[in-house]
Amino acid sequence: MTGTEFEQPPDVRPTGRASGDPGSVWLRQDPSRSRPVPLTRERIVDAAVSLLDRHGIGGLTMRHLARQLDVTPTALYWHVKTKKDVLDLAVDHVFGHVPLPEGTDDWRDDVRTLAGEWRAVMLRHPWAPGLIGRPMLGPNVLARTEFLQAALVRGGLSGLRLTATTRLLANYVIGTALTEATWHRTAAAPTQAQARQRVTADPAAYPTLNASGHLDADRWTDDVLFEHGLDTILGGRTHNERD
């Protein structure tokens, strides 16, 4: 190198895999974010419950469920075989939303607490009561049935009385929730008023129905009727009874 010459700096332009515009790393999509979420039974059940809540049992098909999950129907069959499987899983899933009472010294209070929470969940998922006649062997259903029967055993029930009372309470909660959900969904206030008028128009033909206020929606709330019905089954006097 002479006094009039300068050494040229090496070529530092990026080459190969390191090439790219400055800052481009922030403009490229992270590959980990583009990977599809793995299909699991839990995801299937969550999506099924969402569809059932919005559209009822008739709105749940394997094709609709696959579309909801953005997968092919064939992919579902790796995890569930039939729509019936999905329904069984969905029912047990919503039963998991029924809190298990901590348990008290009063077995009747424990039964009332469980039954009240059960009814509340059924009303939030009005499609569920119509499916409970199916064999229910899921862990959430069994855990709550075990709690119910254990409380009744503490109340002195056993054998046939235990089985019959368990079924009576289950039918009461399911039937109440189904009736309430259907009535409030399909019978608007004018329809309820017309039904009441049908009975009151002929008091001689329906004296007991008139006296009891059988269709008088303003006389007792659904909550009061439910709690008093439980008390009638279990014995004793409900705290919210109104004369």
- CATH code at position 76: 1.10.10.60
- Cβ distance 140 to 201 under 8 Å? no
Sort 95 into a burial class: Cβ within 10 Å, 0-12 / 13-18 / 19+: buried
Do 41 and 151 fall within a single domain?
no
pTM above 0.85, yes or no: no
Task: Provide block-wise average pLDDT over 10 residues at a time, the chain (243 residues).
Answer: 53 54 68 69 96 93 94 92 93 95 91 96 92 82 95 96 95 92 68 77 83 71 89 70 40
| Residue 211 backbone dihedrals phi, psi, to 5 degrees | -70, -35
pLDDT of residue 183: 73
Q: Do the domain assignments include residue 6?
A: no
CA diameter of the chain? 128
Q: Do the domain assignments include residue 186?
A: yes
Tell me the per-residue pLDDT of 131-161, one tens digit each, with 9 for 90 and over: 887 777 899 999 999 999 999 999 999 999 9
Q: Do the domain assignments include residue 56?
A: yes
Do 89 and 142 fall within a single domain?
no
Do 141 and 162 fall within a single domain?
yes
At 231, the amino acid letter reads: D
Instruction: Assign residue 186 the CATH number of its domain.
Output: 1.10.357.10
Do 55 and 111 fall within a single domain?
no
Q: Do the domain assignments include residue 11?
A: no
Q: Do the domain assignments include residue 69?
A: yes
Do 84 and 179 fall within a single domain?
no
pLDDT of residue 221: 82
Single out the residue in 65, 95, 125 at which a domain terminates. 95
Do 168 and 197 fall within a single domain?
yes
| Residue 29 backbone dihedrals phi, psi, to 5 degrees | -70, 135
Residues with Cβ within 8 Å of 156's Cβ and at least 6 positions away in sequence, in order, are none
Q: Do the domain assignments include residue 25?
A: no
Do 91 and 112 fall within a single domain?
no
pLDDT of residue 243: 40
Residue 32 in tokens: 């980990």
d(CA 76, CA 44): 8
Do 157 and 192 fall within a single domain?
yes
- The sign of the torsion formed by the CA atoms of 130, 134, 139, 143 equals positive
pLDDT of residue 48: 97
Do 124 and 88 fall within a single domain?
no
Do 57 and 176 fall within a single domain?
no
- Domain range spanning residue 81? 36-95
Q: How many domains does the chain have?
A: 2
CB count in 10 Å sphere of residue 216: 14
Q: Do the domain assignments include residue 23?
A: no
Do 161 and 187 fall within a single domain?
yes
Do 192 and 117 fall within a single domain?
yes
Sort 122 into a burial class: Cβ within 10 Å, 0-12 / 13-18 / 19+: buried
Q: Do the domain assignments include residue 171?
A: yes
